[in-house]
Amino acid sequence: MPMSAFYDPDEALARVEADIAAAQERASAAQEVRAKIDEVRGVARSERGEVVAQVDPTGLLRDLELSDAATRLRADALSTLIVRTVRAAMQDASRQAVAIMDDAFGAGSAVSRQLQDELDQRMR
């Protein structure tokens, strides 16, 4: 059977191998991005330094420091200050995570926008 000018098995195989290599590179890059994001820690300090909060990219509180001045605040004022500071730390972690995605996949890429949307919803 004569070989058609439109079908070259060697060329088709080369395209498949190139596609596989590109997919493997994307998977490796995605793993590196995931590892970098897992290391992100958002940090925020209250205006007068009574509260310092540290969160991971999921918003999980990893550390909370209260100064001696914090213990002199009324309980409701301290709880409000803690919540505000934790939210600010979450925003910091979000900015860092999106920046990592932008670096890896391009600013404003679909994956960066999706991550930003998810983080925005989490903050609501």
User: Of the candidates 9, 96, 100, 85, which has an alpha carbon nearest to the alpha carbon of residue 47?
Assistant: 85
Q: Does the pLDDT of residue 3 top 60, yes or no?
A: no
The whole-angstrom separation of Cα 124 and Cα 40 is 21
Q: Could you tell me which residue, 42 or 25, shows the higher pLDDT?
A: 42
The helix/strand/coil state of 54 is strand
Tokens of 34: 């995931």
- The model carries a pTM of 0.77
Residue 52: pLDDT band with limits 50, 70, 90: very high
Architecture of domain 9-123: 2-Layer Sandwich (3.30)
Range 9-38 average pLDDT: 89
Q: Are strands 61-66 and 51-55 parallel, antiparallel or unpaired?
A: antiparallel
Q: Left (φ > 0), alpha (ψ -120 to 50) or beta: where does 15 sit? A: alpha
Do residues 68 and 116 lie in contact, with contact meaning Cβ atoms separated by under 8 Å?
no
Q: Does the pLDDT of residue 118 top 80, yes or no?
A: yes
User: Of the candidates 78, 74, 43, 67, which has an alpha carbon nearest to the alpha carbon of residue 57?
Assistant: 43
Do residues 73 and 50 lie in contact, with contact meaning Cβ atoms separated by under 8 Å?
yes
**What pLDDT is recorded for position 123?**
78
Residue 45: pLDDT band with limits 50, 70, 90: very high
Residue 120: pLDDT band with limits 50, 70, 90: confident
Which tens digit of pLDDT belongs to each residue from 84-97? 999 999 999 999 99
Q: Does the pLDDT of residue 50 top 60, yes or no?
A: yes
Which tens digit of pLDDT belongs to each residue from 61-76? 999 999 999 999 999 9
Q: What are the residue boundaries of the structural domains of the chain, listed by start?
A: 9-123
